[in-house]
Amino acid sequence: MFVFVVSFCTYLLLSWSGKLSVQEVTIAFSLAAVISFVTSSSSRSGFWSMRGLSPFRWWNFVRYVFGPFAVGLAQANLDVAKRLITGDINPGIVKFNPRLKTDMGRMMLANSITLTPGTLTVDIDDDGVFYIHVLSLRSENPSEEDICGPFGQWARRILE
Amino acid sequence: MVLGIFVGLLLLVGLVFNCLGVASMYRFPDVYTRMHGATKCTTFGTLFTIFGLLLYSFVRFIAVEGESRFMVLFIHVFIAGVVLMISNPTGAHALARAAHRSKTLPEPALVDVLEEKERHKGGIAA
């Protein structure tokens, strides 16, 4: 249901040009139905599941994107820009286990980590252990806080 | 006039970050560290460019009543930003993973637990 609603809305938003015709809505409806049926086999929760549409979750997601994520993104960008000019780097690949069970949660955390400069998700193994390339390491065994700040907690709160 | 200054500032900040991304290609030593600058300083720069466009189209939409083309621009730029935020880290991750699997190891590196794990398993197992 989540895929259906997202693809329906995206098509309408892309094709909207001031007014909405019945034909556009029909095309959007049929395309969204096809897409959601094709992708439903790869989703664990099934076609009619409403879990992805809970407004509470989306509200938390929006708060996350504009709150801690935006702050982390800005801080990390300035930090990398500084290191770029001074050349003070100390790279290495470290691992940590955020204990996320769902694929969606892992995807969100991995994308957040990769989008933040200075940290890059290289691999995730089957147990959910993240292997992360860090631009400036302080120790060989950093904690979760050192690598991704509050992102792990938020991913657990939104998607678990 | 004021709108022009604000939008120009946002575009300028975006341009500076994109230039830093280019500079990182020359400054950093290996493929992973270069990827930090090349894929992500550019994201931040492009986000500022997108903010500039969003601000411009929104203010013009408010100012010119009944001009839906600015709202259309707003929506399209917004969708472009969302797609960028999803596809950019996914692409960076795919590149890094492919580089590591084809034995391009980080050099220099303080520690590389992924390489240790693969050696422990006796080569790269899928």
pLDDT per residue as tens digits for the range B67-104: 778 888 889 999 999 888 888 888 888 888 888 888 77
Chain B closest-CA separation from residue A83 CA (Å): 10
**B37 to chain A: which residues are within 8 Å by CB?**
80, 84, 117
In this complex, which of B92, B106, B114 lies closest to A91 when CB atoms are compared?
B106
Which structural domain, as residue segments, surrounds residue A17?
2-42
| Farthest CA pair distance, chain B | 68
**B125 to chain A: which residues are within 8 Å by CB?**
none
Strands (E), B1-126: none
Residue A47 included in any domain: no
3-state DSSP assignment of residue B33: helix
Alpha-helical (H) ranges within chain B are 2-27, 31-35, 42-63, 68-101, 113-120
A18 touches chain B (CB under 8 A): yes
Question: Domains in chain A: how many in total?
Answer: 2
What letter does residue A93 receive in the DSSP assignment?
Answer: E
Residue A49 included in any domain: no
- Please report the DSSP string for B115-126 in residue order: HHHHHHTTS---
Cα–Cα distance measured from residue A84 to residue A111, given in angstroms and rounded to the nearest whole number: 22
Name the one residue in this structure whose structure tokens are 């709202």: B71
Per-residue pLDDT 10s for chain A (160 aa) are: 778 888 898 898 888 877 788 888 999 999 999 988 888 777 666 666 666 677 888 888 888 888 888 888 888 888 888 888 887 788 888 888 888 877 778 888 888 888 887 888 888 887 878 888 888 877 777 777 777 777 878 888 777 6
Closest CA to A157 of A117, A116, A98, A111: A98
φ/ψ bin of A20: left (φ > 0), alpha (ψ from -120 to 50), beta (otherwise)? beta
Helix (H) or strand (E) holding A55: helix A55-64
Closest CA to A145 of A123, A119, A111: A119
Contact B35 A10 (CB under 8 A): no
